[in-house]
A = this chain, B = another copy of it.
Protein backbone atom coordinates (compact mmCIF):
# COMPACT_ATOMS: atom_id res chain seq x y z
CA UNK A 1 0.00 0.00 0.00
CA UNK A 2 1.60 3.25 -1.08
CA UNK A 3 1.70 6.31 1.08
CA UNK A 4 -0.97 8.96 1.14
CA UNK A 5 0.34 11.65 -1.13
CA UNK A 6 -0.41 15.34 -0.84
CA UNK A 7 -1.50 16.96 -4.04
CA UNK A 8 1.65 18.11 -5.79
CA UNK A 9 -0.13 21.33 -6.66
CA UNK A 10 0.41 22.46 -3.08
CA UNK A 11 4.13 22.71 -3.70
CA UNK A 12 3.57 24.51 -6.98
CA UNK A 13 1.15 26.94 -5.39
CA UNK A 14 3.46 27.68 -2.48
CA UNK A 15 6.36 28.47 -4.79
CA UNK A 16 4.06 30.59 -6.93
CA UNK A 17 2.96 32.57 -3.89
CA UNK A 18 6.58 33.13 -2.92
CA UNK A 19 7.15 34.49 -6.39
CA UNK A 20 4.10 36.75 -6.21
CA UNK A 21 5.37 38.11 -2.91
CA UNK A 22 8.34 39.61 -4.76
CA UNK A 23 6.22 41.57 -7.22
CA UNK A 24 6.38 45.37 -7.25
CA UNK A 25 3.21 47.15 -6.23
CA UNK A 26 0.54 47.17 -8.91
CA UNK A 27 2.13 44.45 -11.01
CA UNK A 28 0.87 40.94 -11.71
CA UNK A 29 2.15 37.63 -13.05
CA UNK A 30 0.17 35.48 -15.45
CA UNK A 31 -0.38 31.80 -14.86
CA UNK A 32 1.74 31.11 -17.93
CA UNK A 33 4.67 33.06 -16.50
CA UNK A 34 4.34 31.38 -13.12
CA UNK A 35 4.37 27.99 -14.82
CA UNK A 36 7.33 28.84 -17.00
CA UNK A 37 9.34 30.01 -14.02
CA UNK A 38 9.40 26.47 -12.64
CA UNK A 39 8.93 24.57 -15.90
CA UNK A 40 5.50 23.34 -15.01
CA UNK A 41 2.54 22.54 -17.31
CA UNK A 42 0.85 25.87 -17.98
CA UNK A 43 -2.74 24.72 -18.05
CA UNK A 44 -2.46 22.72 -14.86
CA UNK A 45 -0.71 25.50 -13.02
CA UNK A 46 -3.55 27.75 -14.19
CA UNK A 47 -6.01 25.38 -12.59
CA UNK A 48 -4.22 25.58 -9.25
CA UNK A 49 -4.06 29.37 -9.48
CA UNK A 50 -7.81 29.30 -9.96
CA UNK A 51 -8.09 27.36 -6.73
CA UNK A 52 -5.94 29.91 -4.93
CA UNK A 53 -8.11 32.70 -6.32
CA UNK A 54 -11.33 30.98 -5.30
CA UNK A 55 -9.95 30.56 -1.79
CA UNK A 56 -9.09 34.24 -1.60
CA UNK A 57 -5.35 33.73 -1.31
CA UNK A 58 -4.64 35.58 -4.55
CA UNK A 59 -6.63 37.99 -6.68
CA UNK A 60 -6.89 37.73 -10.43
CA UNK A 61 -6.67 40.53 -12.96
CA UNK A 62 -7.95 39.97 -16.46
CA UNK A 63 -6.84 41.41 -19.74
CA UNK A 64 -3.42 42.47 -21.03
CA UNK A 65 -0.76 42.85 -18.34
CA UNK A 66 -3.13 40.94 -16.08
CA UNK A 67 -2.45 37.90 -13.97
CA UNK A 68 -2.33 37.17 -10.25
CA UNK A 69 -1.31 39.09 -7.15
CA UNK A 70 -1.32 38.11 -3.50
CA UNK A 71 -4.62 39.09 -1.93
CA UNK A 72 -2.91 39.96 1.37
CA UNK A 73 0.56 40.86 2.63
CA UNK A 74 2.97 37.96 2.42
CA UNK A 75 3.11 37.64 6.20
CA UNK A 76 -0.64 37.11 6.28
CA UNK A 77 -0.62 34.09 3.97
CA UNK A 78 0.36 30.86 5.69
CA UNK A 79 1.28 27.55 4.13
CA UNK A 80 -1.87 26.19 5.70
CA UNK A 81 -3.89 28.68 3.68
CA UNK A 82 -2.21 27.38 0.54
CA UNK A 83 -2.83 23.77 1.45
CA UNK A 84 -6.50 24.43 2.16
CA UNK A 85 -6.87 26.32 -1.09
CA UNK A 86 -5.50 23.42 -3.12
CA UNK A 87 -6.52 20.34 -1.16
CA UNK A 88 -9.84 21.60 0.11
CA UNK A 89 -11.04 22.46 3.60
CA UNK A 90 -12.39 19.19 5.01
CA UNK A 91 -10.53 17.10 7.58
CA UNK A 92 -8.09 14.47 6.43
CA UNK A 93 -9.62 11.74 8.58
CA UNK A 94 -13.33 11.08 8.04
CA UNK A 95 -15.05 9.13 10.79
CA UNK A 96 -17.63 6.79 9.33
CA UNK A 97 -18.95 5.79 12.74
CA UNK A 98 -18.54 2.12 12.00
CA UNK A 99 -18.71 1.49 15.75
CA UNK A 100 -22.48 1.87 15.38
CA UNK A 101 -22.63 -1.02 12.95
CA UNK A 102 -22.57 -4.74 13.45
CA UNK A 103 -23.81 -7.08 16.13
CA UNK A 104 -22.42 -5.13 19.10
CA UNK A 105 -22.84 -1.43 18.35
CA UNK A 106 -21.41 0.96 20.92
CA UNK A 107 -23.11 4.25 20.35
CA UNK A 108 -25.06 4.55 23.59
CA UNK A 109 -22.60 7.13 24.87
CA UNK A 110 -23.10 10.39 23.05
CA UNK A 111 -19.34 10.88 23.04
CA UNK A 112 -17.43 11.20 19.79
CA UNK A 113 -15.41 8.30 18.49
CA UNK A 114 -12.09 8.23 20.36
CA UNK A 115 -10.18 7.22 17.27
CA UNK A 116 -11.57 10.08 15.26
CA UNK A 117 -10.86 12.50 18.07
CA UNK A 118 -7.23 11.37 18.27
CA UNK A 119 -6.64 11.80 14.54
CA UNK A 120 -8.35 15.16 14.54
CA UNK A 121 -6.09 16.27 17.39
CA UNK A 122 -3.12 15.26 15.26
CA UNK A 123 -4.51 17.22 12.35
CA UNK A 124 -4.86 20.26 14.57
CA UNK A 125 -1.20 19.94 15.51
CA UNK A 126 -0.33 19.79 11.82
CA UNK A 127 -2.49 22.79 11.12
CA UNK A 128 -0.95 24.83 13.94
CA UNK A 129 2.52 24.16 12.60
CA UNK A 130 1.56 24.97 9.02
CA UNK A 131 -0.19 28.15 10.14
CA UNK A 132 2.97 29.34 11.85
CA UNK A 133 4.89 29.57 8.58
CA UNK A 134 4.00 32.40 6.22
CA UNK A 135 4.97 33.08 2.64
CA UNK A 136 7.01 35.97 4.00
CA UNK A 137 9.15 33.48 5.92
CA UNK A 138 9.73 31.48 2.78
CA UNK A 139 10.78 34.57 0.88
CA UNK A 140 13.09 35.67 3.69
CA UNK A 141 14.73 32.27 3.71
CA UNK A 142 15.24 32.32 -0.04
CA UNK A 143 16.61 35.86 0.03
CA UNK A 144 19.12 34.87 2.72
CA UNK A 145 21.65 33.15 0.48
CA UNK A 146 21.12 35.06 -2.73
CA UNK A 147 23.77 35.48 -5.39
CA UNK A 148 24.03 38.99 -6.96
CA UNK A 149 24.27 37.58 -10.46
CA UNK A 150 21.17 35.48 -9.92
CA UNK A 151 19.32 38.41 -8.41
CA UNK A 152 20.04 40.42 -11.54
CA UNK A 153 18.87 37.59 -13.73
CA UNK A 154 15.70 37.32 -11.69
CA UNK A 155 14.99 41.04 -11.97
CA UNK A 156 15.47 40.84 -15.70
CA UNK A 157 13.01 37.99 -15.97
CA UNK A 158 10.56 39.81 -13.75
CA UNK A 159 10.74 42.99 -15.85
CA UNK A 160 10.19 40.97 -19.00
CA UNK A 161 7.10 39.23 -17.61
CA UNK A 162 5.18 41.97 -15.80
Residue numbers of A with Cβ under 8 A of B are 1-8, 10-12, 14-15, 18, 36-40, 51, 79, 83, 86-96, 98-99, 101-104, 106, 108-109, 111, 114-116, 118-119, 121-130, 133, 137-138, 141-142, 144-147, 150, 153-154, 157
Contact = CB atoms under 8 A, between A and B. Distances in A.
Nearest to A146: B106
B88 A2 contact: yes
Contacts of A39: 98, 101-102
B157 A3 contact: no
Contacts of A128: 125
Contact of A102 (B37, B88, B119, B138): B37
Contacts of A11: 93-96, 98, 115-116
A137 B38 CA distance: 47
A12 B79 CA distance: 31
A145 B92 contact: no
25 contacts: A1-B51, A1-B87, A3-B91, A4-B6, A4-B7, A8-B94, A10-B119, A11-B98, A12-B98, A37-B102, A38-B102, A79-B122, A83-B119, A103-B153, A103-B157, A104-B150, A104-B153, A104-B157, A109-B145, A118-B133, A118-B137, A121-B133, A124-B129, A125-B128, A126-B126
